[in-house]
Amino acid sequence: MPEWIVVVLRSFSLLIILFFMTKWLGKKQISQLNVFEYISGIVLGGIVAIHTIDPNANIVYAFLSMFIWFIVPLCVEYVSLKSKRFRDFTEGKSTVLIQDGKIMEDNLKKEGYSTDDLLEKLRDNNVFLASDVEFAVLEPSGSLSVLPKKENQPLTAKDLGLNVAPEKEPQTVIMDGEMLLEPLANLSLNVNWLETELDKQNVSIENVFLAQADNQGQLYLDLYDDKLAVPSPSEIPLLLATMNKCQADLELFALATENQHSKQLYERNSKKLQQAIDLIRPYLS
């Protein structure tokens, strides 16, 4: 057998083995690998490289060494899933660099971090003033996690005491002009509903590139033909506007009438409507 065929055959077979091995070793990003996994990855690559370009090397040795470099990290991973102590040993522990707003100089020294390194990592997290940080921890992967002081944290609805409606994930119901049945069922909607909605907007399904529905049953469309204007869903904004208008109308009637009985009736209902608006507003925005 000519040598070039040997090289081709070896390349293909080792490539396939390497593909499955890396697949079985898990879905971690390069940056998430610990030192051990990183090294075993390089060694696996090296073994494959040596045995593909050297036709004289014994292929059985290649399989053997690849198997060992594959099975040991796999076992380590499995055992560290089960045991916390083993995990601390193989993956390392996190180190607290800033606690209660104070920099821990000893820990910094232990990790071999200079003040510049710390400041750089803080800047990575959009913190430019070390005193803005309440707590910072250096993860085993080498990234720094930062908890800013409360006053420096972004404002949330909870801070404002706002009542917000729970939001469910929107579902993609049409992709490339094809209806997707499972996402539709997730929203407890059916094909009929989708057809009606499309009819309402005067669009044929072949022309729809992407359609998504939220959990209030509003449909957002993107068409192949970008010249056609698609109206955005108006039902919910319209509802709120109509409610506000009616509330204002009732107040106006209350002011205009001289009949005491009617005045009270209008005022009572205007208040009720205001109450209804306040109740429903979080769900409509």
Residue closer to another protein, measured from CB, 141 or 244: 244
Can residue 275 be called a binding residue for another protein (CB under 8 A)?
A: yes
List, as one string, the DSSP characters of 189-202: --HHHHHHHHHHTT
Q: How far apart are CA 36 and CA 90, in angstroms?
A: 8
Binding mask 201-230 for another protein (x = CB under 8 A): --------------xxx-------------
Can residue 145 be called a binding residue for another protein (CB under 8 A)?
A: no
Residue closer to another protein, measured from CB, 55 or 170: 170
- Which member of 68, 222, 268, 285 binds another protein (CB under 8 A)? 268
- Which structure tokens are listed for 86? 């083993």
Q: How many chain residues are in contact with another protein, going by CB under 8 A?
A: 34
Q: What are phi and psi of 135, to 5 degrees?
A: -150, 135
Can residue 239 be called a binding residue for another protein (CB under 8 A)?
A: yes
Q: How far apart are CA 46 and CA 235, in angstroms?
A: 62
Q: Which residues is 102 bridged to in the sheet?
A: 99
Residue closer to another protein, measured from CB, 74 or 189: 189
In whole angstroms, the minimum distance from the beta carbon of 279 to another protein comes to 5
Between residue 174 and residue 193, which ones bind another protein under the rule CB under 8 A?
A: 187-189
Residue closer to another protein, measured from CB, 87 or 271: 271
Can residue 243 be called a binding residue for another protein (CB under 8 A)?
A: yes
- Which member of 235, 237, 255, 285 binds another protein (CB under 8 A)? 235
Q: How far apart are CA 269 and CA 266, in angstroms?
A: 5
Residue closer to another protein, measured from CB, 36 or 253: 253
Residue 37 amino acid letter:
E
In whole angstroms, the minimum distance from the beta carbon of 197 to another protein comes to 11
32 CB-contact burial (10 Å; exposed 0-12 / middle 13-18 / buried 19+): middle
Can residue 250 be called a binding residue for another protein (CB under 8 A)?
A: yes
Residue closer to another protein, measured from CB, 129 or 191: 191
Residue closer to another protein, measured from CB, 99 or 269: 269
- Which member of 22, 253, 263, 267 binds another protein (CB under 8 A)? 253
Residue closer to another protein, measured from CB, 88 or 249: 249
Q: Which stretch binds another protein (CB under 8 A): 30-38, 41-49, 126-134, 263-271?
A: 263-271
- Which CA distances in Å does 214 have to 138, 171, 195, 221, 230? 39, 6, 16, 12, 17
- Residues lying near another protein in the complex (CB under 8 A): 165-166, 168, 187-189, 215-217, 235-236, 238-239, 242-243, 245-246, 249-250, 253, 256-257, 262, 265-266, 268-269, 272-273, 275-276, 279-280, 283
